[in-house]
Structure 1
Amino acid sequence: MSRRLEEATEEALLTGGRAGRRAVEDAGFDQELKEKLLDKVKTAKFQSDFASAFAEAGMPNSAGEGTRIMATAQPWTGEESHSDTALRMLDDARKPLKPEFRGQYQIPPVDMRIRREPKVNAGQRAANARERASTYTGLGIKDQTGLSDDEREAMRKQFRERFEPNARAMPNTLSGLAALANERIENAIARGQFKNIPRGKGVERDARADNPFIDTTEYIMNKMIKRQDIVPPWIEKQQELAKVVGTFRSRLRNDWKRHVARMISSRGGSLEEQVQRAEEYARAEEISNPRKKNIESISVPTNSTDDIVMVKIRQQAAGDAAAESAATTAAAKAPAAVVAPFRDAEWLEGERSYMTLAIENINAITRSYNLMAPDLAKKPYYSLDRELATCYADVAPLVAEAIRQRATRPVKPLFDSAGAGRAAIFDRFGKEGHTAKIYDSRAPHYGFKEMWKDLWS
C-alpha cells in the first residue's frame, strides 16, 4: 500500500505541475519525504531533457550502429537539419542496387565429422533427468483411453515396418529427394572429395551486367543487337555511301594515272627523261594544288548507348593562313616550275558524262543518308571539281613509279596461246620447228602402235 501511494504521489508531481506540488504541500508530508519526491521530479526532468545521452550511455555493447544512431538522434522539430539534408542528397545521388545484386547471406561452413559428446558427471545427469522428466507431466498421457487391439496391432506393425533395414530407402517427395542429395553432397564435401576436381575454363562475365547505373532493359536490348549484328538504318546507309565513294575514287585515280603515264610515255625519250618529266609535273602539282590530309574516322561515344558514330572529316593540315604560308615556303625553297600541272581537256570531256552521273548518284545517297542520320554524323555533298582536284594531287606523285613499272615489266606476246605451258617429255624427241596437223577421220582410235610409229618416223 505504501509503494502504491508513493507511485501515485510521484505521478501527481510529474503530471500535475504546480497543482500537484500544492496538493503535496497541503497533504502535510514530512520534509524529508517531500525533498525525496522533489528530487525524483528533478531527476525525471533532467533525464527527459537529455534523453539521448542517457540512451547512449545505457546502450548495450551488442547494439548495432543503426540502433545507436536512432537512439541518439534528435526528435523531429518540423525542420530538416543541414546534416540530414546532405545525407539525403548523397543517398539520392546513386540508384540503390536491386535486391538480387546485393550481398547475399553466406551459409557458414558446418563440420559434418562425428564427434564424441562431452562427458557429464553424475550430478548433472541426474539434474537433467529430473528437468526433462518434468516436461512430460501434465500432458495427460496416462489419462488417455487405451487403444483397441486392432489399433494397437496396426500401430505395432507400422513401427515394425518403419524400423526395418530397408525401410524408407528412397524418399517419395521432391523435398525428400533434395534433402537426401544435399546430405550426400555435404558428407562428400566433409570427406574432401571435392578438393581435387579438375577445373575448366572460367566463364567470362560482362562487368556491365552488375552496373547499377545501366538500366536492365537497355543492357538486354544492346546485348541482343550486338549478338544478332543489327545496326541502325543510317549506319547501313553510311556503309553503302562509303563503298560507293571509295569505288568512284579508286576508278577515277586508276584511269587518270594510266592516262597520264601513257601520255608522258608517248612523247618519246629515254626512261630517265620520262621519269624526270613526270617528277616535274608532280612538283608543279604540289605547288599549285597541295594535297589535303584525310582523317578517316573519329569515334564519338554517346552517353545513353554504346553505339559509335563514325564521322569522316576532310580538312587541311592547318588553317587557310597556315596552308598559304606553307605553300609560299615550299615555292620559295623549290625551283621555279617550268611546266604547268598536267591536264587533258579531251580526256576530261570524254569522261565528264560518267563522272557527272556518278557524282549525282553519290549526292542522292548522301541526301537519303542525311535524312536519317543524327546531326553529328551528317555529311556534306560531293562536288566534281573538288574530287578532280583531289585526284590530281593524289595521283601526281605516283606517275613516275607507274612509268618505270610499265617500262621494266616483261612484254607479253600478242598472239600468245592461252594453253601454252612447259614442254612435255615427248616434245624433246621431236625436231625443232615441227608442226603437227590434226585431221578429222573415221579411222580406228589412235593407239600405242601409231604413237610408236610417229615417234620414230
Structure 2
Amino acid sequence: MLRLVRFNSTKIETQSALADRFSQILEEKLKNDPVISNKLSHQEKLKFESQYSKHLNYLKSENLLNHNKHAKQIANERPWDGTESTKNVNLRMIIDSTPKPKPTRHLKAGARILSAREISSEYKETKSLPNAADNEDNFRELYKERLLGPTMLVNPNSPHTTLNMVNTLASAQINSKIDLTTGRFNDVNMEKVRGKPLTRDHLANATDTNYFINQILNKQDVLPPWIENQQNVNLEIENFRNNIDKSLVNYCKLSGIPEKSELRSIFRSKQLHYCTHKVKLINASIRDYNLQSPSSSFHKIKLNAVEELDGCIDRNYDTLPDNIKELSQNVVYSNTKQGLLSLFDEQKAVKQRRVEKLQFWSSFKKMFREI
C-alpha cells in the first residue's frame, strides 16, 4: 500500500512538470507568432471597449477631441503607469510643449486671390518707403537732445553747438580788432589797460567760454531738463517719506508705541499696499530721469517699498515720543487759531440785503391811474 502511494505522488509531480513545460512552450509560441499576438491584442481592445463603452461614446461626442487628434489619442489610450519607454515620454513632452495651431477658416479661391493681390500691392508700397533703420535713426536724432542733454552725442568741435558758436563769434570779434603787423589792438584805449591775472580755481575743469556761459545760465535761472527732472524726483521722494513718517506718528499716537519688531510687522501690513503703488510711480519718474541724465554717475537707484517702510521705522523709532508730543501741540494750536479766526469771520458771513431802487415816478403814475 505504501508503494502505491509513492508511485501516485511521483506520477502527479511528473504531470505537473510537463504541464508547466507545455504552458511555457505555448506562451513562447504565442509571443513569437504575430498572428496570435494581434488576435490577443484585438481581444483585449474589444474587452476594453465593452468595459468602458459609456465613456468612449462620451469622448466621441466631444467636439474638442474631434478637432485635436493628439488629445483624442491620449483620451482613448490607457492611463500611464510609469512603465513607458523614454522614447514615448519624450515624444509626448515635445508634442505638449509646442503651441497648438489656431483654427483658420477655409477661404474660397476668389477670396484667396484677392488677399494675394492686396499683399503684393502692400509689399510694393512698403518697398518704396524708407527703411526701418532710417526711421529709427530719425527718431533717435529727434529725441536725442531731449533725452540725453543738449550736447550729448553731438560732435563737440561742430560749430552748430551752443558753446562753439559763442567761441567762434568771440574769436572773430577779437581777431578783427588786432593789428596783424604789430600784434596789438587797434583801439587807442587798449594801451592804457593793464592785464590782470585770472583766478584759475574756477577754471580747473572748464574753459573760459564754458565758465562764463555757466555764469550767465546761473544768473538767469536757466536749468537743463535733466536737472529740473532731478529736482522733481528728489521732491517726490522727500514728500513720500514725509507722508509715511506722519502716518507712523499718527498710528503710534492712537495705539501706543509697541516694540520695534512688532511695530515693523504691523506698519508693514497697514502701509505696504499704498507704498507699493506710490513707489511704482516714483520709480517711473526715476527711470525717466536716468534716461535724461548725461552720465551714469548721476543715475538714481530705484526705491523698494519694504526697505522704505523699514527705513521709516529706523529713522523715527527713537524720536517717536517727541514727535507725538509735537503733533499734539500743533493740533491744539491749530484748533485755537481756527476758533479765534471764526469770531472775526462771522461778520463776513452775514449777508446784507441789497438796496433796491425806489422808482418814485413809476409809483406816482400808478397812483393817478388808479384814481
In the superposition, the TM-score normalised over structure 2's length comes to: 0.34
In the superposition, the TM-score normalised over structure 1's length comes to: 0.28
- Structure showing greater radius of gyration is 1
